[in-house]
Structure 1
Amino acid sequence: RQAAEAAGAEIRAGLGAHRRVVHQKYNAHDLVTATDLRCEEVIRAHVRAAFGAAHRFIGEESAEEGPGAGQLTAHPTWIVDPLDGTANFVHGLPQVTVSIGLAVGGAPVLGVVYHPPSGEMFTAVKSRGAFLNDQPIHVSGCAGVAAAAIATELAYDRTEAGIACMLRRLGNTLGAGVQAPRILGSTALGLAYVAAGRLDAFYFGPPCGPKAWDVTAGRVLVEEAGGRVTRLDGGAHDLFGEEVVATAGGALHEELVACVKPED
C-alpha cells in the first residue's frame, strides 16, 4: 500500500500538467512517460527495501530487460503496472491507476489497485476477501448481459485484422443487448470496478491484449470479491495469456464468453 501511495503521489503531481512522451513502445498508440518510469522506480525501491533479493520484480517498463525477465518462477514475484492508463494520463483524463500484484509459486495471491485522483485503494489477499479503503466489497448480482454494465478496452493494434477482431467482440456484446457498454482506458481499474460491483463484467483480448501487469492485481480482487476470471473461451486464466474475462459469475459469465470467445 505504501508503494502504491508513493507512486500515486507522482501521478497526481503530473496529471494535467505538460508531459513529454519519453518514447513509443509498440506503436504511436502505446506510450510511456517519465512518470511511468519514475513510478516504477518508486515501487521497485519499496519492494527491494522490504524483501531484498528474495522477491523478484516484473514491471511493465522493465519487463523486457534480460532473459527470462517476464517469466514466473517459484519465487515470490511482484507484477507491477506503475501507471495503468498512460494514454489517459497523457491527455489529462483521470482514469489512471497503480496496479501491484504478487504471485507465489506461479499463482496470484495479492492485489492492490490504487486510483490516485480519488484516493480509492482496492486491496485483496487470497482467502481473505477484497476491500475498498478497508471496507469489504463484493461483485454484483447481475444475472445476464442484458442487465449488465460491461467494460472493455480497445487495444493499440490498428491493423485491419486487429480492428475487425475488436469490433467483432464489441458488436457481439451489443447484439446480445448489453445495457451499458463502457471503455475506461485502464484494465486494472475495470477489474477493480468489477470487484466492487460498479461494473458487472470486463473483457479484453488479442490482438495486443492485457499483459500480466495489467491483470494480476485485478484478478485477485475479482476472485476474492466472489467473481470469476477466465480466458475469452471460458478456460483457466493465464496471467501471460493476454486475454481476460472477469464477471460477477453465473449465467452472465457464460453469456459474455459466448459473445467474445475466439472464432472457430
Structure 2
Amino acid sequence: MVRDVWEKGEAYEAYVGRWSRRVAGPFVAWLGLPPGGRWLDVGCGTGALSAAAREAGAGLVVGADPSAGFLRAGSGPRIAADARALPLAGGTFDAVISGLALNFVPDPGRAAAEFARVATPGGTVAAYVWDYADGMRMMRFFWDAAAEADPGGAADEAARFPLCRPEPLAALWRAAGLAHVTVRPIEIPTVFPDFADYWDPFLGGQGAAPAYLMSLPPTRRDAIRHLLKNRLPAAPDGSIHLTARAWAVRGTTTG
C-alpha cells in the first residue's frame, strides 16, 4: 500500500484544506461552547479548525500534529505530537477537537482515550471525518475512476476507513468513556471553477488519493484523468458543482 503523505501545507490546502475550512465553522458552532477556555486541536494540520475555534472566541488554542511541515504552515502555539501519546498533562483542556485526522491514526481507540484523558472533567471531546463511502463526492469520483483504470491497485478510502460512519464513531467515543455522545452530518458545497481546479491538487501528492496517484506510471494517471474529465458533472461554463459530507461526533468527559 502507498504511504499517505502529509508534509507540504500549500499542496494540502489546494487539495482538501480549503474544504476543511468550510466544515470547521459549522462544526465549532455545533459544539456551542462559551467564549474563553483552553482548546487542543489534535492533528491540526495547516490550522483550519484552530482558526475556526479562535474566531468562535476560544481563549487559547494549542495545535498538535506529527508533521513538521504542517506545523510550520500554521500559526499560534503548536507542538509536535502523536495523537496516541499526547505529551500533555491530564485534565488540561476544556475542549479537545480534531478535524479530518482521526481515521489516519493507526490506533484510533488509543487516540480517543488520549483526547478524553487531557480534557477537563465535563470537558468536550469532538472530531469530524469525511464520509468517504459516498458523501465526499470529489473523492468518490476519483476512487471509482481509479478502480477502473488500476484494477486491484486502488486503495479506496471508503474501504480503508470504516471508522468514518456514524455508528463506528459513536462506538469509539463511548469506548473512550465519554458521555452524552452525539453524531451528526455536516455537508458543504465544493465548487470547482474548472476541471484543472479539481484535478491539479491531486498532483500535489499530499493525502491518500494524491499519494496513490503520484505512485502510478504516467499512462495510468492519464487514464484516470481521462475518465474523470468525462464523468464529472460540468456546467455549461465548465464549473463542477459537488458536495462533501463529514460526520461529526462529540461527547463529554465524566468525573
* TM-score, shorter chain, exceeding 0.5: no
Structure with the higher fraction of residues in helix conformation: 2
TM-score, with length taken from structure 1:
0.28
Q: What TM-score, normalized by structure 2, do the two folds share?
A: 0.29
Larger RCO: Structure 1 or Structure 2 (Cα < 8 Å, ≥ 6 residues apart)? 2
Which structure has the bigger radius of gyration? 2
